[in-house]
Amino acid sequence: MRTAERNRKTAETDIQLKLNLDGTGESRVNTGCGFLDHMLVLFARHGRFDLDILCKGDIQVDDHHTVEDIGICLGDAFARALGDKRGAVRYGSTLLPMDEALILTAVDLSGRGLLCYELQIPTEKVGTFDTELVEEFLLAFTRQSNITVHVQQLAGKNSHHIIEGAFKSLARSLDAASAIDLRFSQEIPSTKGVL
pLDDT of residue 193: 85
Give which of 34, 21, 15, 170 is closest to 107, Cα–Cα.
Answer: 170
CA dist 59 and 67 (Å) reads 10
Give which of 117, 107, 106 is closest to 153, Cα–Cα.
Answer: 117
Q: Is the pTM of this model over 0.85?
A: yes
Provide the CA 135 distance to its chain's centre, in angstroms. Answer: 11
CA dist 52 and 37 (Å) reads 11
Other Cβ atoms within 10 Å of 195 Cβ, number: 18
CA dist 144 and 138 (Å) reads 10
Pairing of strands 13-20, 3-9: antiparallel
pLDDT at 140 over 90: yes
Q: How confident is the model at residue 157 (pLDDT cuts 50, 70, 90)?
A: very high
* Partner residues linked to 114 by β-bridges: 148
pLDDT at 127 over 90: yes
Q: Are 105 and 169 in contact (CB under 8 A)?
A: yes
pLDDT at 185 over 90: no
Region of poorest pLDDT, from 40-44, 88-92, 164-168, 189-193: 189-193
pLDDT of residue 169: 99
pLDDT of residue 82: 98
Positive or negative torsion for Cα 184, 189, 191, 195: negative
